[in-house]
Amino acid sequence: MAEVNTPRVMAAAREFNIGKDTLVDFLVSKGFEGDELKPGSKISEEMYRVLQVEFQPDKAAKQKAEQIDLPKNAVTDFFLISVLKTSSITFIRVGRSMFSASLNS
């Protein structure tokens, strides 16, 4: 049987859209030795299969997100926040929603 070309720890973390520490902690919890899991170390075929089973949904989500084409410099409602203060009420606008809060001063 041909050997599968497995990535290094950091490349696998990027591939599955997880952090290096998350990857290492997960593999250690599955019984693999933490000493052999340095950022530049190659992971074994068995480790790679375990990662695929656990983190394939994260990889699929990353691939789907990369396919979304947003215009450059696009402003989204999620980041628009403005505050209007009057003498007794503060209006906070988040996107298209407006909230009010009373001031106790």
Under a CB-based contact definition with an 8 Å cutoff, are residues 30 and 73 in contact?
no
Global pTM value? 0.57
Residues forming beta bridges with residue 90, ordered by sequence position: 85, 101
- What are the pLDDT digits (tens) for 46-105? 999 999 898 887 777 777 877 776 666 555 544 444 444 555 555 555 555 555 555 444
- Nearest C-alpha neighbor of 59 from the set 6, 1, 11, 2: 11
